[in-house]
């Protein structure tokens, strides 16, 4: 049986665009998760999500792993981008969409290579 930390590392490594959030993209359970997922969806790329409310072990361990205390957390290509304020600000200035599209394009290239 794998540990919570191994699960987190596997989720981050296997999903180039990943959001840890409260709730689901269709039914966010907090305002910050709702704002973040809306900004991410507006970028037009597919992404993975983990509902930390359904995964209390991940909810407890991820802040220590990421050195980021709150949710949501957006991860692109294995790197923590940040939470709601950072993601929304990046979306508003056009940075987020560029980064998300680059990450998706890179992931698609890697998939077709393997």
Q: Which amino acids are annotated as binding site, given as ranges? A: 22, 30, 59, 71, 84-85
- β pairing state of 73-76 and 17-21: antiparallel
104's tokens = 């998706």
Pick out the residues of the known binding site for glutathione.
22, 59, 71, 84-85
Q: Are 33 and 59 in contact (CB under 8 A)?
A: no
Q: Are 52 and 58 in contact (CB under 8 A)?
A: yes
Kindly compute the dihedral angle of the four CA atoms of residues 32, 86, 88, 42, in this order, to the nearest 10 degrees. Answer: -100
Pick out the residues of the known binding site for [2Fe-2S] cluster.
30
């Amino acid at each position: 049986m794998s540990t919570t930390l191994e699960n987190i590392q596997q989720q981050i490594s296997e999903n180039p665009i990943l959001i840890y959030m409260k709730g689901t993209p269709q039914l966010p359970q907090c305002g910050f998760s709702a704002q973040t997922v809306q900004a991410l969806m507006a970028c037009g790329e597919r992404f993975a999500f983990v509902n930390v409310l359904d995964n209390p072990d991940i909810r407890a361990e991820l802040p220590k792993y990421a050195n980021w205390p709150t949710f949501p957390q957006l991860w692109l290509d294995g790197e923590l981008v940040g939470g709601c304020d950072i993601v929304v600000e990046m979306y508003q200035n056009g940075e987020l969409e560029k980064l998300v599209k680059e990450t998706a394009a890179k992931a698609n290239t890697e998939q077709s290579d393997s």
